[in-house]
Amino acid sequence: MNQEIVEKLRLFSRRVERLRGNDDFFKNVVLKLDFKENRGAKTALEGPDPKTIKAALSDFRPFTLNDEPINFNHICNLIEKEVNDEDIKRKARETRDAWNKILQRKDSDSAVGGLQMRLDGKVMLSEENLNIWMNTDYFHVGDANERELLKRMEQTPFGQLSHFAFIDLVQRLSGVLFWFDINVVVPVLTTSE
């Protein structure tokens, strides 16, 4: 394995540790639903504060961006291609499968995390929910259609359900990154030294 690959893996591992340092983000998230007759439903989200969320997302985001050297799928591909240890390769494939399953990258009627969201009659996949919040609320302003969609969502309990699912998703994907770093990347780095 050449030095450039080793440096990418070291960078990945350092950035996972940085993400892991967002302790206040990784606390339980609770969504409370309160229904009162003649008053309708109210929701309340308890969990990390907005500044903590933004800080954690800043550390999480590079693992999802295609142009980043620490993009999770790129690192998995690198390990598949460059590592000879079949057990490590298997772990990398299984971890990527878990990542993709959590993201619900294919149309599915299954619920991830016990919550299935439908918007305008269409199942909203976890990856779509992630992208709406990341690209329209936290890091970009999104296009007019995305802004309108988020605005519509936020005016109903669906918005808080969606935000709850978003935070939960980022926490679970971060857990996948933590496991992958300890069980795949660190052993590869250890054997390359």
pLDDT at 22: 95
Find how far residue 133's CA is from the centre of its chain: 11
Summarised one tens digit per residue, pLDDT across range 70-86 is 999 999 999 999 999 99
What are the Cα distances from residue 188, in Å, to 8, 16, 72, 91, 159?
A: 12, 15, 15, 12, 42
pLDDT at 17: 98
Q: Provide the 3-class DSSP secondary structure of residue 156.
A: coil
Eight-class DSSP state of 110: P
Helix H or strand E segment including 107: none
| 141-170 mean pLDDT | 83
- The predicted model scores a pTM of 0.88
Indicate if the pLDDT at residue 105 is higher than 70: no
**Structural domains counted in the chain:** 1
Would you say 179 and 95 are in contact if contact means Cβ atoms under 8 Å apart?
yes
pLDDT at 11: 98
| 52-64 mean pLDDT | 96
CB-based contacts of 135: which residues, under 8 Å, 6+ apart?
A: 142, 146
Indicate if the pLDDT at residue 67 is higher than 80: yes
Task: Find tokens 């005016």 and name the residue.
Answer: 155
Per the structure, the complete domain to which residue 179 belongs is given by: 3-192
